Amino acid sequence: MTDKRYIAAGIFAAALVVTLAAGGAGQAEQPAEPAIAVAEPAEETPEELRFIVREHGGTVCVFREGFDVQPAIVTEISVEDLPAADRALLEAGMEVAGREALLRLLEDLGS
């Protein structure tokens, strides 16, 4: 190669490095922001969680509000061993707001 070609190759390489460092040539375009903003679901705090406590398979079970098929918690508390009033409440389903209230209820049912 002649001196002119070395100089031209060096200038091209320098220009390429500067362009890439500036983020121009080698960077993909960022997609445009969507026209409609999608709201992220708010995280529930432990006190906002809602539960339904009811009998399932002969034991006291905890269901998340809105999820009636599969229990979130299956306890070892036998419904058969509970007083009739508690069994009636469990048959209807006991609504509980918050984890602390849920723990208190399960403790009461288990004692």
Average pLDDT over residues 55-81: 92
Distances in Å between the alpha carbon of 44 and those of 18, 50, 60, 83, 111?
48, 10, 24, 34, 30
Phi-psi region of 98 (alpha: psi -120 to 50; beta: other; left: phi over 0): left
Domain limits, the chain: 50-110
| pLDDT value at residue 30 | 55
CA neighbor of 93 nearest in space, from 105, 80, 108: 105
Give this prediction's pTM.
Answer: 0.57
Report the SS3 class of residue 75.
strand
Average pLDDT over residues 81-87: 94
Distance from C-alpha of 101 to C-alpha of 47, rounded to nearest angstrom:
9
